Amino acid sequence: MTASASTPRPEPRGPVDSSRVPRFAGPATFARLPRLDEVGSADIAVVGVPFDTGVSYRPGARFGGNAIREASRLLRPYNPAQDASPFALAQVADAGDIAANPFHIEEAVETVEAAADDLLATGARLMTLGGDHTIALPLLRSVAKVHGPVALLHFDAHLDTWDTYFGAEYTHGTPFRRAVEEGILDTSALSHVGTRGPLYGKQDLDDDEKLGFGIVTSADVMRRGVDEITDQLRQRIGDRPLYISVDIDVLDPAHAPGTGTPEAGGLTSRELLEIIRGLASCRLVSADLVEVAPAYDHAEITAVAASHTAYELTTIMARQISA
């Protein structure tokens, strides 16, 4: 949402005032923000994609977006870690959900891409709440139409660059191989962060390297520390337009039990948040957060971590919009 030089920028409409309406009351939009239809247009659209037909193990991520929204009731309008009030800097609104066919993956991918196209055409950036990681491919297609091939930071326990599962080309384990094949990623600036766990074979790593990805494992973060890792990532990204994709299973199951394919030895929620905050100088054009499966969550641990992660990503975008 932009204003001409002669037209004052409208004051963003922020969250419901928690001193007047308790956090546990009212509709569960993200961070209690207004709906997109209430404000007309937005600088940042928070949109859900309740789709998990592409999972290879435990289902349930179709309910992730609403679980994140419920947990986000506890978010407050000032972010001290980034010294910013994101909802005062930019108009952020909840755009509801993209309704994708749960019985047909290819059609669902097309639906998500078309809906993302429409939102991006308004000038908004997207903060997408999944859903499984299949949705990253259509989102990247849409972003690349606006910005050209983008740099990618992929926070995940897994590579998600496999070729097929059971002959299917579109699953939550294949989106970034497809994205490289389609030329929508800048292959000089691709990184996985937080990967770990067993693989099908060493060929998985060889194939991933050929696609252009660098790997920062969860053990690298533990041994080298957040500041050094973040500096490395910033240097790799440079001033390229950046897309960040966060699979919540990048966190250790102690911090995120509510996900479909958990792996031991992951990042802490503190490490994830600090790495993201350290990327505030990067040109973040859109982001997604996926694979929250509330059926396996305990006391909303996973959804809380996810809501704070989305909040930090939204804050970065809001700061850049207002600069």
Determine the pLDDT at residue 308. Answer: 98
For the chain, which residues make up each domain, given as ranges? 30-322
CA 187 to chain centre: 20
Confidence tier at 282 by pLDDT (50, 70, 90): very high
pLDDT at 6 over 70: no
- Dump pLDDT digits (tens) for 96-105: 999 999 999 9
Annotated binding residue 156: yes
Residue 297 marked ligand-binding: no
**C-alpha of 62 from chain center:** 15
- At the second CATH level, the architecture of 30-322 is 3-Layer(aba) Sandwich (3.40)
How many whole angstroms separate alpha carbon 134 and alpha carbon 43? Answer: 25
Full DSSP string of 162-176: -S-BTTBSSSTTSHH
158 is in an annotated binding site: yes
Q: Does the N-terminal peptide bond of residue 225 adopt cis geometry, omega within 30 degrees of 0?
A: no
Name the band, by pLDDT with cuts 50, 70 and 90, for residue 9. Answer: confident
Which tokens hold the place of 131? 């859903």
Task: Return the number of other C-beta atoms located less than 10 Å from residue 301's C-beta.
Answer: 18
pTM for the structure as a whole: 0.96
pLDDT digits (tens, 9 = 90+) for 229-243: 999 999 999 999 999
Q: Model confidence at 1, in pLDDT bands (50, 70, 90)?
A: very low
Contact 236, 191 (CB under 8 A): yes
Q: How many helices (H) and strands (E) does the chain have?
A: 11, 8
Q: What is the pLDDT of residue 258?
A: 98
